[in-house]
Amino acid sequence: MPRNNSNPIDSYIGNRVRQRRSELSISQGELADELGLTVKEVELIEQGKTRLTAAQLNGLKAILSVDSPIYFFQDAPFHRQSED
């Protein structure tokens, strides 16, 4: 489900997806077909406006030829959130 504000981690992961997809010359349409999503959903993921599921991350691992879903988190700007 789309959100109004992007989380920095979601934006980072979306950028990693877009970068790797571009490196492999895979279109958003091709990626959408492989993941069973619409092009709009892929756009929202790449913009960090929609969060990927674990199953989608695992699918991206295979489609984008990376060793592990952890690839998408490498050097991500993790910040500890305060507890209420």
**Alpha-carbon gap, residue 44 to 24, rounded angstroms:** 20
Give per-residue pLDDT as tens, 53-80.
999 999 999 999 998 878 888 888 766 5
**Alpha-carbon gap, residue 77 to 56, rounded angstroms:** 21
pTM for this structure? Answer: 0.81
In the chain the domains, ranked by start, together with CATH numbers, are 8-72 (1.10.260.40)
Tokens of 4: 């109004």
* Torsional class of 48: left (φ above 0), alpha (ψ -120 to 50), beta (otherwise): left
Task: Provide the percentage of residues in the chain whose pLDDT is more than 90.
Answer: 67
Scanning the structure block, which residue is given the tokens 């929202």? 44
Average pLDDT along the chain: 87
Contacts of 26 (CB under 8 A, 6+ apart): 63, 64
- For residues 56 and 13, is the Cβ–Cβ distance under 8 A? no
Q: What is the predicted pLDDT for the residue at 71?
A: 84
Residue 6 has pLDDT above 80, yes or no: no
Q: What is the mean pLDDT of residues 13-39?
A: 96
